[in-house]
Amino acid sequence: MKEKLKILLIGYGKMGKAIEEVAKERGHSIAAIISDKQIDLGHICKAYGANLAIEFTSPEAAVHNLESLIDAGIPIVCGSTGWLDSWDKISDRIKANNGTLFYASNYSFGMNLMFHLTEIAGRVVNDWPEYEVDIEEIHHLEKKDMPSGTAITLAQKLLKEINRKKDWVLNQGGPSTIEISSIREPDVPGTHTVSFSSSVDTIDLTHTAHSRTGFAIGAIRAGEWLLGRKGIFSMEDLLADRLK
């Protein structure tokens, strides 16, 4: 039987509450809850016997939290976005400490399927220059980063496949760029659309989250899979392992 998770839950907004609910449904426990940022997370993990940290906070808090947890040797599932300009620093710290980090911009299985479909579509559209490509993301008003980390991941998948596109830009497009349009509306967990448009037709790939439960299930399953591993992992690693 797999080891039960004793989770230090960092970030207790709507996503944190969904993670708490799913964790308990799957037989795990919440060792302690931290609202956003704490100076010594390692001390808290030891005091409450946590064997995993799940971090869903803000771009401002995430890097500090990750550094504190890495130094304490705590495996981490991180879903915070907007901090990836510090990725190299965090990656180096993980390697130096023989640590464990699972990071994804989106933990929904459905969204990760859309990542795969977007990559395939981009590979085909590379040979059809009459198609323009753009991305639209819609989220709740409380979301702080813009564009979403998920939209950036979609853009990166496309940039890898479409040679005529060199970068993504926010709310403006051009021949060599992918436009990401960011919209904020009340009570939207997350909707992402990739559009391939020509003069004769438009193809839309859309993922619409109906609630945060799908993200929470993915985060908990990532934590279950992560225990006992060392290194940096993603949803691609988890899904590939499940397909073996």
Give catalytic residue positions.
139, 143
* Those residues with Cβ within 8 angstroms of residue 100's Cβ, 6 or more apart along the chain or in another chain: 75, 76, 94, 226, 229, 230, 231, 233
Measured CA to CA, the distance from residue 104 to residue 107 in angstroms comes to 6
**128-166: burial string, b at 16+ Cβ within 10 Å, e else:** eeebbbbbbbbbeeebebebbbbbbbbbebbbebbeebe
Strands (E), the chain: 6-10, 29-34, 52-55, 76-78, 100-103, 132-139, 167-170, 177-184, 191-197, 202-208, 231-233
Supply 240's token pair. 């590939």
Q: Which residues pair with 169 in a beta bridge?
A: 179
Supply 146's token pair. 């813009």
